[in-house]
Amino acid sequence: MAARKRRPPIQKGGGLLEQRWIKAAVIVFIVELLLLALFSMAPISSSQQASLLSQYSSLESTISNKSFLYQFFFIAPHNILIAAIDEIPILGLAFFGYSITQTAMFLNAYAVSISQPGIVLVIALFLLPHTILELPAYALAATENLFLSYSLFRGGFRKELRRAARVFGLIVAELFIAGSFEAAELQLSTYAALSLWIPFILLISVLLFFLLRKKEPKRRRLR
């Protein structure tokens, strides 16, 4: 009987579809959601709330009533920079936790000002299309951070850097698309922004079709 071919072991610096990497990304994303939920409901002092609302108002005044292109080129590069820092080995993990908890605290402060639970605003975020790409993008960056940090101590760092470059390319694409939809949402009223789900779903469906379709193997010509 012919010997069965053994599957090669998972190597460091593997592809994005490596099972271990995908499981880690799912866990990191769940942790990200938990941080958002927990800190959006955390106790907050009146002075801290006032400080956070002041920062929010300053940011809002920078981009409100501006053109779509201005808002897009303000949002997308800013978010890409955050993701880039998230991916820096070891240090990026601390920044990832800080940026997520700060976002949650901003939501918390605003929720208190309108007498609503913070978790309501966290859920409301997912009613807007850009959130579906933006939050997972940060989780991908943090996941690759874990693998880069691990490879620093256990070897294979150069190989892992190749995957890190591919992951970052995917993140940049995600955040450019997310940034364009977030800018479009800012141009519309809250209810009108919900209509952006239609082009969003169509766009993501087309992208997934081309990314996931299997290429048919070329048939050898008979001589």
Whether 8 has a pLDDT exceeding 80, the answer reads no
**Quick one: pLDDT band at residue 7, thresholds 50, 70, 90?**
very low
Q: Where are the domains of the chain?
A: 19-55+64-209
Q: How many residues does the chain have?
A: 223
Buried b (16+ CB within 10 A) or exposed e, 61-71: eeeeeeeeeeb
Residues whose CB falls within 8 Å of the CB of residue 42, separated by 6 or more in sequence, listed in order? 104, 105, 108, 118
Measured CA to CA, the distance from residue 138 to residue 97 in angstroms comes to 10
User: pTM here?
Assistant: 0.86
What is the torsional sign of CA 42, 48, 80, 159? Answer: negative
Contact 151, 157 (CB under 8 A): yes
Per-residue pLDDT at 217 exceeds 60:
no
**CB-count exposure of residue 95 (10 Å: 0-12, 13-18, 19+):** middle
Q: Which of 87, 97, 69 is closest to 180 using CA atoms?
A: 69
Residue range 139-195, pLDDT digits in tens: 999 999 999 999 999 888 999 999 999 999 999 999 999 999 999 999 998 888 999
**Is 12:156 a contact under the CB 8 Å cutoff?**
yes
Q: Which of 70, 67, 84 is nearest to 148 (CA)?
A: 84
Instruction: Give the integer Cα–Cα distance in Å for 180 and 101.
Output: 24
